[in-house]
Amino acid sequence: MVQKVYLSNYELKEALSEYLGRIKHSFLNKELLNTEEALGRVTSEAVYSKISSPFYNCSAMDGIAVQSLKTIGASEKRPITLEEGKDYLVVDTGDPIPREYDCVIMVEDTVKIDGDKVKIYKSAAPWQHIRPLGEDIVENQLIVPSGHMIRPVDIGAMLAGGVNTVEVYKKPLIGVIPTGTELVDPGSNLKIGDIIDFNSRVFSAQVTQYGGIPKRYGIVKDNYDILKSILKKAVSECDIVIINAGSSAGREDYTSDVISDLGEVYIHGVSIKPGKPVVLGEVENKPVLGIPGYPVSAYFIMDKILKVIIEGYQGKKTEKVQRLEATLSRRVMSSLKYLEFVRMKLGYVGNKFIATPLSRGAGSTMSLVRADGILEIPQNVEGIEAGSKVQISLMKNIDEIKNTIVCIGSHDPILDILSDLIHVKNPDYYLSSAHTGSMGGIMALKNGETHIAPIHLLDMESGKYNIFYINKYLKGKNIALIKVVNRIQGLMVQKGNPLCLKEISDIYKKGVRFVNRQRGAGTRLLLDYYLKKLNISPKDINGYEREEFTHLSVAAAVASGDVDCGLGVYSAAEIMGLDFIPVCNEEYDFAVPEEYLEMETIKELIDIMKSNIFLKELDRLGGYDYSSIGRVITHNDKKLTFAKKVDKDVHLKAIDRV
């Protein structure tokens, strides 16, 4: 294995300025456009009017054009009568005023006498209600300066000023070349080893957003010569070319070599994370970039480098990203070697913004979908402590963040459904959930980081749910419980239950591969409760250490055949087409500080939980008893929370379906 080395480890700023210096000779090409087609384009020279507007004296009102001299002395008592043709001309707004008239009287100020006569009761001043030539625009007047981005109102003023064509900077055509033998187009029949080429589609959309025109080429296999010939073609057809990926140091990463072969690589490697293995080069005087393959790395390279290039190419100014100050909910570590971009979730809880880091995996497209903003941790900083004030660059609208119910805690598939329904019912409202497990939810409440915490926490001693933990960990806070569902937990096993598992103790059987939930998850506590009761040591369970973060991902691991079983809810098994062995019922509730019960968003959430449309969804998923749904138990009622036994019918119904 030959390991390639990066040519460089530039800082981002330095790399960008070095690279822009090398390639900017290819920027700012001009073209002449019809003015009406120039929306959003940048003027390459100052635009001066060619004619005045109006280019003749015209009426500013509907009425009659007269000579002001003939109106002198008119009054309520002594009106003056004027005759059409002799004394006046009927004019509408915009009509030209012939030389012989010097003012206009509004139709409202005239009284018709007969066919061609009117009376007026007030004299008219010279130039009254006349728009003189050049009132709006005078010939040779500056309309917009060079370097101005053309808006609809500019198009109006230019056309009014006789400017029918305008010289602007060209938009760049960006060639996008996806490479990789493993890549397949979306919609292909997938087989193990295939990777769907979504990157090139994301790039095309980003290029469009930045103001360029994307041109996507077909997938190029990992073959040096083919890549070389396609790059040659793309460079001849486009203004800028990006190659994805092969910019790293794997066996088949040809991007850097091919660019060197046809032109020059200036920079290979920038000290940012994600995004390090970028290639910045030039072929035949056109910028050519190698973009890393991991979608999150690619995203940041596009956003931090290609955006600047595309905007610079056409003379656009980069708009400042909106930032917001937030309090960091947990410590974020960082490498001293890199400028790091950390995807953050923002919550507006208790009148302040709380920022929580999302997954930092470079392969997590969903973390970009979920992110509200980005935290930049400078190079040479080891990390930032919890509680620090940090600046977050926003990826979403502030109002959207302010109207979002933050929901941190235990995962259940119904959270996705609630998140959709609340937004459908009120397009201004959102629910965003982070899956940290029930104990994570309790801690988030304690730290004031969440509005609601979905929890299902079994007290090992009493066998009771939720209240014990609230009393223990959230003492002194007025926490209410919104009842949600009693749900069936059980073993998810492959279709047909090939290992014939029957009860929770069967996971101890030889050869059975289990998948666990993460520490702090209610389901993990439930497992531990049973192991303790059955006197089984965790280290005797094959797979106790393998942790997943949601019911669905446990179900997916079982479905894939990697493991034989996992503990989770019925609905997740149902969604993934698994068999299900019920183990017990448990109370899944939302813990919420009582003050937040007054929030409009939380009121709406409770309404939706009780709505028929939501209950139907619960029936469809199966395994839920919702007889208490939406009931709010405040701090003072807490004795009520020792809930009744689960409805046996629901339990049986679920088992029937298995």
Contacts (CB under 8 A) with its own copies, residues 26-45 = 35-36, 39
Q: Shortest CA distance to 166 belongs to which of 155, 152, 179? A: 155
Q: Binding-site residue total for its own copies (CB under 8 A)?
A: 121
Q: Which is nearer to its own copies, 271 or 553 (CB)?
A: 553
Q: Does the protein bind its own copies through residue 508 (CB under 8 A)?
A: no
Q: Shortest CA distance to 478 belongs to which of 438, 522, 445? A: 445
Compute CA distances 390 → 13, 424, 445, 518, whole Å. 21, 32, 21, 28
Contact, 608 vs 614, CB < 8 A?
Answer: yes
Q: Which is nearer to its own copies, 165 or 478 (CB)?
A: 165
Cα three-residue angle 28-34-38, rounded to 5 degrees: 55
The distance of closest approach from Cβ of residue 385 to its own copies in the complex, given in angstroms and rounded to an integer, is 29
Which of 383, 560, 603, 610 forms a contact with its own copies (CB under 8 A)?
560
Q: Does the protein bind its own copies through residue 350 (CB under 8 A)?
A: no
Which positions from 512 through 531 interact with its own copies, judged by CB under 8 A? none
| CB burial of residue 317 (10 Å; 0-12, 13-18, 19+) | exposed
Which of 12, 105, 120, 143 forms a contact with its own copies (CB under 8 A)?
143
Q: Does the protein bind its own copies through residue 124 (CB under 8 A)?
A: no
Q: Does the protein bind its own copies through residue 144 (CB under 8 A)?
A: yes
Q: Coil, strand or helix: which one is 554?
A: helix
Q: Does the protein bind its own copies through residue 147 (CB under 8 A)?
A: yes
User: In this structure, how many other beta carbons lie within 10 angstroms of the beta carbon of residue 534?
Assistant: 12
The distance of closest approach from Cβ of residue 541 to its own copies in the complex, given in angstroms and rounded to an integer, is 14
Q: Does the protein bind its own copies through residue 146 (CB under 8 A)?
A: yes
Q: Coil, strand or helix: which one is 36?
A: helix
Element containing residue 573 per DSSP (H, E):
helix 570-575
Instruction: Count, in order, helices (H) and strands (E) of the chain.
Output: 18, 38
Which positions from 2 through 21 interact with its own copies, judged by CB under 8 A? 3
Q: Which is nearer to its own copies, 281 or 295 (CB)?
A: 295
The distance of closest approach from Cβ of residue 160 to its own copies in the complex, given in angstroms and rounded to an integer, is 5
Contact, 587 vs 462, CB < 8 A?
Answer: no
Q: Which is nearer to its own copies, 209 or 236 (CB)?
A: 209
Binding mask 266-295 for its own copies (x = CB under 8 A): ---------------------------xxx
Residues 6+ apart with CB under 8 A from 304: 12, 16, 272, 275
Residue 179, both tokens? 């490479």
Which of 179, 271, 327, 419 forms a contact with its own copies (CB under 8 A)?
419
Q: Which is nearer to its own copies, 198 or 508 (CB)?
A: 198
Q: Does the protein bind its own copies through residue 314 (CB under 8 A)?
A: no
Compute CA distances 164 → 50, 167, 169, 373, 581, whole Å. 9, 10, 17, 42, 75
Q: Measured between alpha carbons, how far is 319 from 334 in angstroms, rounded to an integer?
A: 28
For residue 330, give the DSSP letter.
S
Which of 65, 202, 349, 492 forms a contact with its own copies (CB under 8 A)?
202
Q: Does the protein bind its own copies through residue 442 (CB under 8 A)?
A: no
Q: Does the protein bind its own copies through residue 264 (CB under 8 A)?
A: no
Residues 6+ apart with CB under 8 A from 51: 139, 161, 162
Q: Does the protein bind its own copies through residue 69 (CB under 8 A)?
A: no
Q: Which is nearer to its own copies, 130 or 328 (CB)?
A: 130
The distance of closest approach from Cβ of residue 65 to its own copies in the complex, given in angstroms and rounded to an integer, is 13
The distance of closest approach from Cβ of residue 52 to its own copies in the complex, given in angstroms and rounded to an integer, is 5
Q: Which is nearer to its own copies, 479 or 576 (CB)?
A: 576
Element containing residue 655 per DSSP (H, E):
helix 648-657
The distance of closest approach from Cβ of residue 509 to its own copies in the complex, given in angstroms and rounded to an integer, is 20
Q: Does the protein bind its own copies through residue 56 (CB under 8 A)?
A: yes
Residues 6+ apart with CB under 8 A from 189: none
Which positions from 576 through 605 interact with its own copies, judged by CB under 8 A? 576
Stretch that binds its own copies, among 184-192, 279-287, 498-506, 525-533 (CB under 8 A): 184-192
Stretch that binds its own copies, among 53-61, 323-331, 532-540, 625-633 (CB under 8 A): 53-61
The distance of closest approach from Cβ of residue 645 to its own copies in the complex, given in angstroms and rounded to an integer, is 31
Angle between helix 612-621 and helix 414-425 axes, rounded to 10 deg: 160
Q: Does the protein bind its own copies through residue 51 (CB under 8 A)?
A: yes
Rg of the chain over Cα atoms, rounded to whole angstroms, equals 35
The distance of closest approach from Cβ of residue 414 to its own copies in the complex, given in angstroms and rounded to an integer, is 11
Q: Shortest CA distance to 161 belongs to which of 17, 46, 55? A: 55
Which positions from 213 through 242 interact with its own copies, judged by CB under 8 A? none
The distance of closest approach from Cβ of residue 305 to its own copies in the complex, given in angstroms and rounded to an integer, is 15
The DSSP secondary structure of 154-207, one letter per residue, reads HHHHHHHTT--EEEEEPPPEEEEEEB-TTEE-TTSPP-TT-EE--HHHHHHHHH
Q: Shortest CA distance to 290 belongs to which of 314, 258, 319, 325? A: 258
Q: Measured between alpha carbons, how far is 658 from 653 in angstroms, rounded to an integer?
A: 9
Which of 230, 283, 394, 552 forms a contact with its own copies (CB under 8 A)?
552
Q: Which is nearer to its own copies, 282 or 311 (CB)?
A: 311
Q: Does the protein bind its own copies through residue 299 (CB under 8 A)?
A: yes
Q: Which is nearer to its own copies, 116 or 647 (CB)?
A: 116
Stretch that binds its own copies, among 94-102, 443-451, 473-481, 600-608 (CB under 8 A): 94-102
The distance of closest approach from Cβ of residue 591 to its own copies in the complex, given in angstroms and rounded to an integer, is 23
